């Protein structure tokens, strides 16, 4: 049950019809219908006035109720999209940060997207910093290690493999509805 049902549930508990809620909020009946049916997600003024008239906090209207199925929810799909977008690093320098950050900013009105998307981005920021530092110092280490191969190439490929592993591990966890992913002590966002 997402925001649409939450608004409807609270409206019904207060004994309002859709027309009465529309009148009290100065919103159109069509807006109320769209919110309750899930066709529209209230933001800004609409969210504020609904919360005020229904007598609840705005964040409460954004929360999922227990028993909701996040696997089929928009939140879960948005999280999968953010995680998939981290693969952009394969073709775009720092694409693993830029594209997922844009998506996270766009969809962070969803509480789960904000929380889990932040974890995904924090991991990608940490991975990027470690990879850049590793590649910067690898030529200096190459002088001390007499190996017949390029240390920079090996470390670069290893870093890519590690990132791919965590991206696919996160995708699998999201499919299982396991949101306890990438527990990091370091928080950038």
Q: DSSP character for 154? A: H
Please calculate the CA angle 103-182-100 and round it to the nearest 5 degrees.
15
Q: Where do the structural domains in the chain lie, given as residue ranges?
A: 3-62, 74-175
* Surface-to-core class of residue 135, CB atoms within 10 Å of its CB (0-12 exposed, 13-18 middle, 19+ buried): middle
Reduced to 3 states (helix: H, G, I; strand: E, B; else coil), residue 134 is helix
3-62 fold: 434 Repressor (Amino-terminal Domain) (1.10.260)
Q: What is the pTM of this model?
A: 0.61
Give the number of other Cβ atoms within 10 Å of residue 75's Cβ.
24
* H or E, element range at 35: helix 29-37
* Surface-to-core class of residue 23, CB atoms within 10 Å of its CB (0-12 exposed, 13-18 middle, 19+ buried): middle
Task: For residue range 122-179, list pLDDT tens digits in order.
Answer: 999 999 999 999 999 988 888 788 777 888 899 999 999 999 999 999 999 998 888 8
Task: For residue range 8-18, list pLDDT tens digits in order.
Answer: 888 888 899 99
């Amino acid at each position: 049950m997402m925001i649409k049902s939450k608004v409807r549930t609270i409206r019904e508990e207060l004994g309002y019809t859709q027309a009465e809620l529309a009148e009290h909020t100065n919103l159109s009946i069509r807006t109320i219908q769209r919110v309750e049916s899930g066709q529209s997600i209230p933001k800004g003024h609409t969210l504020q006035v609904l919360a005020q008239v229904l007598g609840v906090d705005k964040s409460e209207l954004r929360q999922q109720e227990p028993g909701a199925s996040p696997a089929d929810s928009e939140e879960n799909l948005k999280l999968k999209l953010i995680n998939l977008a981290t693969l952009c690093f394969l073709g775009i320098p720092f694409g693993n940060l830029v594209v997922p950050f844009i998506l996270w900013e766009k969809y962070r009105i969803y509480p789960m997207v904000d929380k889990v998307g932040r974890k995904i981005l924090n991991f990608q920021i940490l991975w990027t910093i470690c990879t850049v530092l590793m590649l910067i110092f690898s030529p200096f280490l190459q002088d001390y290690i007499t190996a017949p191969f390029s240390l920079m190439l090996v470390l670069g490929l290893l870093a890519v493999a590690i990132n791919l592993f965590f991206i696919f591990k996160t995708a699998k966890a999201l499919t299982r509805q396991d949101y306890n992913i990438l527990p990091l002590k370091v928080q950038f966002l």
